[in-house]
Structure 1
Amino acid sequence: MRPAQYSDDDLEQHSLRRRVSDDGQRSGFEHDVDRILYSTQWRALAGKSQVVASGELGAYHTRLTHSMKVAQLGRRMAERLQRRYGGPNPALVEAACMAHDIGHPPFGHAGETALRATMDQLRGQGSQLDSFEGNAQTFRVVTCLAAHKYPGHRGLHLTRACLDAATKYPWERAPLAENPARHYKWGVYDADLAAFTWVRNGRTDTEVPVEEQLMDWADDVTYACHDVEDFYRTGHIPLASLFPPPGAAGGDTEREVRRFLDYVQAKRARAGEPFDRAAAQELLSEIGKRLTVPAPYTGSHDDAVAVNRRTSDLIDYFTRGITLDIGAGAPIRYGARLVIPAERRAACDLLKELVWAYVIDRPALATQQHGQRRIVAELLRWTHESPDLLPPDRAEELTQHGDVLRAAADHVASLTEDQAVALHRRLSGTGLGSFSDNVSP
């Protein structure tokens, strides 16, 4: 039976405006999970970066495996909260987590910044509010670009509740001088405002459903735990120096901790954010209780068991202490606030900085991302200049709205990284490939 906090409006589907019915076999939110799972855009996430390129040797997470773990973690947290508070619905949280990154372009954030900067340049001064953002692209994919089984209708026909829960930044892009934060992070393009207005149903920017709050926390925890695990396994993050066993700390540990905290302090200073070094030192000690490692990873079975156990302990630490603060008589969806102990949120943020300090800001990745941004920017420019390069679905889209740049961005964003590299070589003349190559999704 449907939980009382979900109304018939929540279960309406985008564009079809009809409630989900499956003779009781699946709930509306289980429909959402299945439709995302079977979409080509979900499958394409296997070829897109989480941190490093999807084709890197080694067992790195891709955007797909990251999204799968976000969905699993979000559902488990929702199940615990549902047993205690009567909601939220676990299938709804799972669907929102699955959808949250489905609009991300090839090469992750490097590709995203390249698309945004190039679109801003091509739009010209004064017309830079309709650009590119991964979260806004997610909304566009699930409401417009993806295809389901109903002819004449676009998108995956997800429930209103799912679309709202998957919208991380429920506002349009703001001018840079007016609101810098909303200039760089927003959740809807001008072209999709009608669907967005229907989804939000008159709610303000600050009215965020609890399912979105859970999705956001599951995303942060997965990023912090599994990406740190990836780069410890491959020798990039020196966890053995940062978190040695009790009594084993020495000069190497002190130097490594100091170096890491210097990095975080400088980064926060550049962003104009405060940094309490003593508090950060205490957080590292707290993290070390669950992440202590005696030596660098060797690949042995014992090492694999140990790192899996420590990752599990960390996830447990970040997810077991959460609660809901629910207003008196308020429905759980919009009347509840997810309460995360402040020290655990701060510890999660500090763990994510390990990936930035030892991986993302390293020269080796910086030079690779320079090339990735160039590939994405040039593909967008070339497709914008020659719309005949668009694949059939994007060409059909262009006849509907007439915006060549938006259609070009939709095309480039949909490519896997292998497709983007192959298409760039073909269009630049550096590697023409074969007539039978399929370089479009």
Structure 2
Amino acid sequence: MRPAQYSDDDLEQHSLRRRVSDDGQRSGFEHDVDRILYSTQWRALAGKSQVVASGELGAYHTRLTHSMKVAQLGRRMAERLQRRYGGPNPALVEAACMAHDIGHPPFGHAGETAMRATMDELRGRESQLDSFEGNAQTFRVVTYLAAHKYPGHRGLHLTRACLDAATKYPWERAPLAENPARHVKWGVYDADLAAFAWVRNGRADTDVPVEEQLMDWADDVTYACHDVEDFYRTGHIPLASLFPPPGAAGGDTEREVRRFLDYVQGKRARAGEPFDRAAAQGLLTEIGKRLTVPAPYSGSHDDAVAVNRRTSDLIDYFTRGITLDIGGSAPIRYGARLVIPAERRAACDLLKELVWAYVIDRPALATQQHGKRRIVGELLRWTHESPELLPPERAEELAEHGDVLRAAADHVASLTEDQAVALHRRLSGTGLGSVNDNVWL
């Protein structure tokens, strides 16, 4: 007997405490997808970084196009699993994937780092647990900051199951000495604990439902495949040297592979993580079966077709071997575990390191990252010091909860990168703009 899927309680609305009804036109989870799609926060992701700044020349992924591909990939995997196991629900997985990055600030992880460091400093040592984290900000956006069509209620009114599936780290921030990992990554702020308790529905553990596991894997695969594709096209990642056709490998390939593996080994050593160099070499060989690249990208139509074919082959490799481990007849949400072959997860992690080795840790991007962190950190500091700079909606929220720093963080995190740059120039006096500018709207 197949396990049950979703209870009526999973479909209950967060703020309205009622089930969604649409005369049979849309399910509750399809409502979730549509409400995220039509939110202003979803639209703003077009102006936020995936890896490089959203305004960079070239066809780089933004946080929006990344999230769209995560959602597409998550839904397709869910559809395959549903046909085999009876679940999970594809629309629910799609909604969770769409929501997963909606709280990210401008400039991606550089912005997130600056937000956290500045908040930690401004909060003071005694209150450093209440800081900034992109995943916790996502939860705050969908349950409090975003607006839907119902007056008197806050957030997008997503189903309990959707909010649960979009929560990657179901815990509060822990003290550094107590739990270093949970001091860096967490999923809920103190201000949002009531909503979080409702979503967890009495659960005191840190288990995540199978929909979150699918969302997380879709995120990793999209990052590994599409970001590597971006930077091969623009000449940053030397795939032709790393993965030449059979029989064409020579001294250049050996040097490039050694250089890359040296980078990964050094990075893992600094993090105190083990690294099996021989196994990594084997993974590169396995990846090379699907990523053989005869030459640097030329921009020709044939090259564009070849890139798309390789990306498709990689995605098939990472997604078609997954299964569900289902125990008993419990509801599939917490009664199933996504099983990913270990070598495929390791290969995905190694592909992601290509972006770090050849792009993120390059001096050219490092200098940009410095500037991005300064913009975000100073905007947060200036807004905290002068709350009269808050736009009307954030000022209304400040009047409601009284936390100036949280209101300032909500404002800065909501900005696109163009808005952040323009507002920083305006407030610093380096570019006053016009009195008609509405850079925060």
Provide the TM-score with structure 1 as the length reference: 0.99
CA offset at residue 126 of structure 1? 1.6
Instruction: Tell me the residue number matched to 1:119.
Output: 119
Is the 8 Å Cα contact of residues 283 and 343 (structure 2) preserved in structure 1? Answer: yes
Q: Distance in 1 between matches of 2:3 and 2:325?
A: 18
Q: Distance in 2 between matches of 1:368 and 1:2?
A: 52
Q: Any idea what SS the aligned residue of 2:195 has?
A: helix
Is the 8 Å Cα contact of residues 118 and 377 (structure 2) preserved in structure 1? Answer: yes
Q: Structure 1, residues 135-191: CA drift from partner, whole Å, max 9, x if none?
A: 000000000000000000000000000000000000000000000000000000000
Pair 1:357–1:421, CA change in 2 (3 A): same
Is the 8 Å Cα contact of residues 99 and 138 (structure 2) preserved in structure 1? Answer: yes
Q: Distance in 1 between matches of 2:18 and 2:405?
A: 33
Q: Any idea what SS the aligned residue of 1:25 has?
A: coil
Q: Any idea what SS the aligned residue of 2:126 has?
A: coil
Q: What is the 5 A alignment of 1:107-256?
A: 107-256=107-256
Q: Distance in 2 between matches of 1:2 and 1:404?
A: 50
Q: Structure 1, residues 215-254: CA drift from partner, whole Å, max 9, x if none?
A: 0000000000000000000000000000000000000000
Is the 8 Å Cα contact of residues 171 and 206 (structure 2) preserved in structure 1? Answer: no
Is the 8 Å Cα contact of residues 3 and 332 (structure 2) preserved in structure 1? Answer: no
Is the 8 Å Cα contact of residues 4 and 329 (structure 2) preserved in structure 1? Answer: no
Q: Any idea what SS the aligned residue of 1:205 has?
A: coil
CA offset at residue 208 of structure 1? 1.1
CA-based RMSD: 1.3
CA offset at residue 3 of structure 1? 9.4
CA offset at residue 202 of structure 1? 1.4
Q: Distance in 2 between matches of 1:203 and 1:242?
A: 47
CA offset at residue 438 of structure 1? 1.5
Q: Distance in 2 between matches of 1:153 and 1:387?
A: 24
Is the 8 Å Cα contact of residues 93 and 215 (structure 2) preserved in structure 1? Answer: yes
Q: Structure 1, residues 56-102: CA drift from partner, whole Å, max 9, x if none?
A: 00000000000000000000000000000000000000000000000
Q: Distance in 1 between matches of 2:440 and 2:279?
A: 49
Provide the TM-score with structure 2 as the length reference: 0.99
Name whichever of 33-42 and 198-207 sits farther off: 198-207
Q: Distance in 2 between matches of 1:207 and 1:229?
A: 33
Pair 1:227–1:279, CA change in 2 (3 A): same
Q: Distance in 2 between matches of 1:256 and 1:305?
A: 25
**Identity over aligned residues, as a percent?**
94
Is the 8 Å Cα contact of residues 2 and 86 (structure 2) preserved in structure 1? Answer: no
The number of residues matched between the two structures is 441
CA offset at residue 206 of structure 1? 3.0
Q: Any idea what SS the aligned residue of 1:105 has?
A: coil
Is the 8 Å Cα contact of residues 321 and 340 (structure 2) preserved in structure 1? Answer: yes
Which 5+ residue runs of structure 1 have no aligned equivalent? none
Q: Distance in 2 between matches of 1:382 and 1:371?
A: 16
Is the 8 Å Cα contact of residues 3 and 330 (structure 2) preserved in structure 1? Answer: no
Q: Distance in 1 between matches of 2:314 and 2:95?
A: 24
CA offset at residue 330 of structure 1? 2.1
Is the 8 Å Cα contact of residues 221 and 318 (structure 1) preserved in structure 2? Answer: yes
Is the 8 Å Cα contact of residues 4 and 330 (structure 2) preserved in structure 1? Answer: no
CA offset at residue 205 of structure 1? 3.2
Which 5+ residue runs of structure 2 have no aligned equivalent? none
CA offset at residue 12 of structure 1? 0.5
Is the 8 Å Cα contact of residues 88 and 332 (structure 1) preserved in structure 2? Answer: yes
Q: Distance in 1 between matches of 2:126 and 2:315?
A: 45
